[in-house]
Amino acid sequence: MARYIAQPNNDVDRLRTMAVVWLVIGALFIVRLFYIQVVQHKKYTNQASGARTLNQTIKAKRGEIFGHDVRQGQQSLYPFALNRDQLLLISDNRKISDVDRTAMVVSAALSMSPEETEKLKQNLGKKSRAYQMLVKDVKPEVADTLVEALDKENITGLYFDREPARLYPERELLSHITGFVGRTEKGEPIGRYGVEAYFDERLRGQHGFVKTEKDPFGGWIPVADRDFEQAKDGDDLIVTIDRTIQLKLCQALSDGLQKYSARSGSGIIMDPKTGAILGMCNVPYFDPNEYQKVENPGVYNNSAIFTAYEPGSTFKLVTMVSALDAGKVRPHTTFVDAGNVVRDSFTIRNAANKVWGTQTMTGVIKESINTGTVFAADLVGKDLFQGYVKKFGFGMKSGVELKTEEVGNIKSLSKSGAVFLATASFGQGLTATSLQMIQAYAAIANEGVMMKPTIVHAWRSQNGETVYQKPEEVRRVVSKKSAAEMTEMLRVAVEDGHGRLARVPGYTVVGKTGTAQISGAGGKYTEDYNHAFIGFAPMNDPRFVMLIKFEAPSAKYSESTAVPTFGEVAKFLVEYLGITPDKPTEIK
């Protein structure tokens, strides 16, 4: 019986095992196929597309910036911001065998400091880097020297690349006008400050692109349905700044900064009939070609439009012409000065505690009498006076085409209390920018009509078409008669008052001084003062209006700082612009 007991069928078991294995493999294959075709469909579609299509950005050329000669219009242009290629020293650290030797050769060729050499070694030591940017903006002649040295030492792994960069030929001279081109977090170029920032989009242009199939070697396959859009290069900007005027203004401010031991200086020169800014300079300034080396980023700001300050006695023009225009006073109207007035328990005194007795309104401007402007402002009244202040553009942006313009602060005129009107009448307790102040004087020079300040002379497209900026009238702020009366009062202030050093032989110069205490933390006044002078010439047909301001100079009054600086630049302007003398008998 034993021989009939069933024995295991090994062949059947093996078949069953193999079937199970193949079923598992098939299931895994199906799951993997589902994962690739369904779950990661988009990923592999993009990879396949990338393998056979070419997607490339066509970069637009950034528009360039030019200045011009106001005597010749567009016939003479000066480059203020240009495009150029800069050389970058790049390393493939995987191919560098001796970091110290490589660093030594590079350091010697590029005349690096010990600190720069140490940083170079650190960068070269990052072995996983296939693309390591080592040095920007290598001069071509230096690059040639380095290549020779590398060949001689048989050093590999270093090469040069090119990238577009911005060049500012005038360096510091126009830094607050142009601004500079910096980089975003993604490394894309972007305009910072000045016109580079204000007109960044128009200067930048519009990038194009091409999308087409490519062959196995990466070349384009010409197909009819490829996507293509040509880049649109940015427009060129021609600004109103005259290079020669700018140079003279900056030199005078720099000299004054040293001579008077001032903390800073600002100057603006404007055509009152068009609003065109012919010169605008601030010291200290910076080199936009090396903006990264600036220790204090605050120097990037254009102080003439960014820094609001208490204007002091230069603001007396606004008070007096408002009273003239409102019919409250005439130039010969008198008042009696007792040396001080009291408002809301606050005592307001004249400079140096002087007492002037009986004075006309012309005398108030000539001698810069605080109590006299309080008298005029009281006659105008707070509400009407505030209306004139706003008409003159204070408390709002002028609209000049420069980044970081501030509006100042005239909120004190909305507060209750007679003291706020009184102090505002002589430029205290409210703030304004230098541009707002010169705009107010320009309105008087332009017979009571305010023009919009502008930095744009023209735009030039890449096809050569030039579109000129038209002067823009903002509004009439006072009557022609009031402006004429105010101008005569300013003439007396220069010829017989504190502005004598602003005079130019053969020309009638008009203007007003301002010496204003600088407020510190918590609104308390410090022992420092801002000195300013604003004026225009010739009196009856003004060709320019100019502001000169120094912050915290060592001298006591503006008549010995800002005024002589104004006079120096004014003498240059009448000659440079070829202005006919209106008092030829004075010229010897």
Instruction: Parse the chain into domains and list their residue ranges.
Output: 9-55, 93-156, 243-293+300-586
* pLDDT over 50 at 3, yes or no: no
Residue 242 near residue 70, CB atoms below 8 Å? yes
When comparing pLDDT for 555 and 122, which is higher?
Answer: 555
Helix axes 99-110, 114-124, angle to 10 degrees: 140
Q: Going by DSSP bridges, is the β-strand pair 227-229/208-213 parallel, antiparallel, or unpaired?
A: antiparallel
What confidence score (pLDDT) does residue 27 get? 66
CATH homologous superfamily, domain 243-293+300-586: DD-peptidase/beta-lactamase superfamily (3.40.710.10)
Nearest alpha carbon to residue 511 among 539, 540, 550 = 539
Percent helix, percent strand, percent coil in the chain, to nearest 5: 40, 25, 30
* Residue 74 burial by Cβ neighbours in a 10 Å radius (0-12, 13-18, 19+): middle
Cα–Cα distances (Å) from 264 to 132, 312, 313, 505, in that order, read 41, 17, 19, 29
CB 303 within 8 Å of CB 320? no
Measured CA distances, 457 to 67, 265, 273, 453, 511 (Å): 9, 26, 14, 11, 27
pLDDT digits (tens, 9 = 90+) for 24-38: 666 666 656 655 565
pTM value is 0.83
Question: Given this model, what pLDDT does residue 2 score?
Answer: 41
Query: Residue 138 in 3-state DSSP?
Result: strand
> What are residue 513's DSSP bridge partners?
533
Q: Which token pair is 476?
A: 């009439």
How many CB atoms within 10 Å of residue 263?
Answer: 14
Determine the Cα–Cα distance for residues 264 and 353; give it in Å rounded to an integer.
28
Instruction: Read off the pLDDT of residues 343-394 as tens digits, 9 standing for 90 and up.
Output: 999 999 998 899 999 999 999 999 999 999 999 999 999 999 999 999 999 9
Burial class (CB in 10 A: 0-12, 13-18, 19+), 318: buried
* E strands, 285-325, in order: none
C-alpha 216/C-alpha 528 separation (Å) is 74
- Select from 372, 75, 56 the least CA-distant residue to 226: 56
* Distance between CA atoms of residues 520 and 552, nearest Å: 12
- For residues 566 and 537, is the Cβ–Cβ distance under 8 A? no
Q: Phi/psi at 416 (nearest 5 deg)?
A: -80, 150
The yes-or-no verdict on residue 86 having pLDDT over 70 is: yes
Distance CA 512, CA 492 (A): 10
CB distance 214 to 54 below 8 Å = yes
Tell me which residue has tokens 């409102």.
326
Report, as an integer, the average pLDDT of 553-576: 95
Among 392, 389, 401, which residue's Cα sits nearest to residue 425? 389
> What letter represents residue 422's amino acid?
A
Q: What is the largest CA-CA distance in the chain?
A: 155
pLDDT at position 99: 78
Q: What Rg value do the Cα atoms of the chain yield, rounded? A: 35
Spatial CA neighbour of 506 closest among 568, 581, 578 = 581
Considering 286-290, 346-350, 435-439, 514-518, the range whose residues carry the highest mean pLDDT is: 435-439
What percentage of the chain carries pLDDT values higher than 90? 61
